[in-house]
Amino acid sequence: MKEQLIRKCRICLLLIICGFLVPVSKAAEHEKPAMFWTWLDYNPNINFDSICREMNYLGIDGVMLNAASPDEYRVAIPIAKKYGIQVIAWLWTMNLEHDRDKILKEHPDWFSVNRNGKSLADTTAYVGYYKFLSPVVPEVKDYIKQKIQSYCEVEGLAGISIDYNRYVDVVLPTTLWPKYNIVQDREYAAWDYGYHPIAIEKFKKQYGYDPRAQKDPSKDLKWRQFRCDQITEMANMIADVVHAYGKTMAASPFPTPKMASRMVRQDWGKWNLDLVFPMVYSNFYTEDPSFIKDCTLENVRDKANHTTLYCGLMAKNNDEMFVDMDEALNNGAQGISIFTIHSLQDPKIKERFRAYTAAAKLKKEKNNGTLSPIQGHKVENDPFRKVGIMKLITQKIQDMVKAENPAARPVALSKYKQVDNYDVTKKYLVKDKVSKKNFYVTFFFYGDILSGWNVDPVPPNS
């Protein structure tokens, strides 16, 4: 009997080597992914047990945890498991975090370079912690690969979720422009990254010209796709490592593959992901829940077939939380991750959230473990048919008028007249018939969906 068993094992091993059999897939090894998640920073000094107890109560059964070392996960995982919570390591890749100062000091040549030739090793893009590496540098790939391996070796870790696997934002969401006192109605050199000398040489070898020689490199589709492809190579290298350890590969990218390609050179529909949690934070973009619906419908279409779609939402301590989740789950998302559980403070909102997660899980279970998009829903790209957004624009104009004249009557807007149209931008002129003031209203369509809007007063005598 023993000899037969040994012979059988030898035959199976031979068949695997020859390619006739494959090892048991990771899907067979893992429990079914949780439906509701949260992103969370781990600190050894926090009461993680209490947080896990709260997650369990609310129906959040997965956490993407950001810890500083593999050993911190080894402490956190048994606590989470006690409450039935799956743990995925939430790791930054191209933008350094816990190891930022060390790499800056030892390897300044690893960092991303913008169109002006400035390296993030000694310049700043938006904020000081934006220290993105260049994906074309071979040593960077080796460094990240070893880092991922060290986390994959943690027993009980369900998987890896990569974040900041991209370039610097060449375009920020419109609601963030005032914070940095900028306007990004097109791609500008200071925020256009990916011009590391190794990248330039690699592109020249492949296509025969230097992208910097063009009048406007931002219009070169080959150059844009080339940079997207470098990020895709990094993501799929990480996926190979994660899958080799039999763990789940996930990511937290920008809202849709098309939007991400334009805004941060992140073509994530081509990544070898098991789960994807696109960060569809409507308050960063159009400030209207319809943005979540549009993105989710696009993502159902553009994600890889083998990737399960979730939706990353900004946690809101009010009724909007439930509208946002409906927009995601009714249009094809299979679950939700919120940023973050700490934002849910109101006891009434917590109770509603708990009831919501329970009902959603039951609905999914009754539907054979999947949620189908509601038939007939489609992306609406005419901003004038989006009631919520038009109300927000009217209110913005009203606020601008009242800022000059607190006693001003409610605005009465004229018809919108298109005055400009370039790249992803459509610009309109509208007049308040009461105050006689004119305004420019600009709509942005990154990724072919309405992804932002802006209102500017027209200067007098212009």
Write the pLDDT tens digit of every residue in 155-189. 999 999 999 999 999 999 999 999 999 989 889 99
- Condensed to tens digits (0 to 9), the pLDDT of residues 309-361 reads 999 999 999 999 999 999 999 999 999 999 999 999 999 999 999 999 999 99
Q: Average the pLDDT over 79-96 and give the result.
A: 97
- Cβ neighbour number for residue 107 with a 10 Å cutoff: 15
Percentage of residues in the chain having pLDDT higher than 90: 88
Name every residue whose Cβ is closer than 8 Å to that of residue 157 and which is 6 or more positions away in sequence.
73, 77, 87, 88, 89, 151, 247
Residues 410-416, mean pLDDT to the nearest whole number: 96
The fold adopted by the segment(s) 21-366 is TIM Barrel (3.20.20)
CA distance linking residue 76 with residue 419, whole number of Å: 56
How far does Cα 10 stand from its chain's mean position? 46
Confirm if 40 and 12 have CB atoms less than 8 A apart: no
- The answer to whether residue 406 scores a pLDDT higher than 50 is yes
- Proportion of the chain above pLDDT 70, given as a percent: 93
338, burial (CB in 10 Å: exposed 0-12, middle 13-18, buried 19+): buried
The torsion of the CA quartet 164, 269, 332, 356, rounded to 10 degrees, works out to -20
The pTM of this model reads 0.91
Q: What span, in angstroms and rounded, lies between the C-alpha atoms of 215 and 426?
A: 23
Cβ 127 vs Cβ 58: under 8 Å: no
**Model pLDDT, residue 310:** 98
Picking from 32, 35, 83, 27, the residue whose alpha carbon sits closest to that of residue 277 is 35
- Look up residue 327 and give its two tokens: 């927009």
Note the pLDDT tens digit of each residue in 286-316.
999 999 999 999 999 999 999 999 999 999 9
Q: What is the mean pLDDT of the chain?
A: 92
Instruction: Report pLDDT for 30.
Output: 56
Query: What is the C-alpha separation between 214 and 203, in angstroms, rounded?
Result: 14
Question: Among 17-31, 85-99, 275-289, which is the least confidently predicted range?
Answer: 17-31
Instruction: Look up residue 152 and give its two tokens.
Output: 């994959």
Long-range CB pairs of 65-68, under 8 A, 24+ apart, other chains included: 65/40, 65/41, 65/89, 65/90, 66/39, 66/40, 66/41, 66/42, 66/90, 66/91, 66/92, 66/97, 67/42, 68/42, 68/98
Do the strands 425-431 and 248-251 form a parallel or antiparallel pair, or are they unpaired? unpaired
Residues 218-230, mean pLDDT to the nearest whole number: 96
N residues, the chain: 462
Report how far residue 371's alpha carbon sits from residue 233's, in angstroms, rounded to the nearest whole number: 31
Which residues are within 8 A (CB) of 19 and not within 5 positions of it... i.e. 6 or more apart? none
pLDDT confidence tier of residue 239, bands split at 50, 70 and 90: very high
For residue 146, name the pLDDT band (cuts at 50, 70, 90). very high
pLDDT at 258 over 50: yes
Q: What is the pLDDT of residue 369?
A: 92
Mean pLDDT, range 123-130, rounded to an integer? 96
The yes-or-no verdict on residue 93 having pLDDT over 80 is yes
Q: What six digits make up the tokens of 76?
A: 């956190």
In contact, 291 and 326? CB cutoff 8 Å = no
pLDDT of the residue at 373: 87
Q: Looking at the predicted structure, is the pLDDT value of residue 28 above 80?
A: no
Given pLDDT bands bounded at 50, 70 and 90, which one contains residue 21? Answer: very low
Q: Long-range contact list for 451-455, CB < 8 A, 24+ apart?
A: 451/173, 451/255, 451/259, 451/285, 451/286, 451/291, 452/173, 452/174, 452/175, 452/285, 452/286, 453/174, 453/286, 453/383, 453/389, 453/392, 453/393, 454/174, 454/177, 454/183, 455/393, 455/396, 455/397, 455/400
User: What residue segments make up the domains of the chain, in order of their start?
Assistant: 21-366, 383-457
Task: Reply yes or no on whether the pLDDT at 53 is more than 70.
Answer: yes
Please tell me the predicted confidence (pLDDT) of residue 7.
Answer: 45
Res 44: pLDDT: 92
pLDDT in tens, 359-389: 999 999 999 999 988 888 899 999 999 999 9
Q: How high is the pLDDT of residue 435?
A: 94
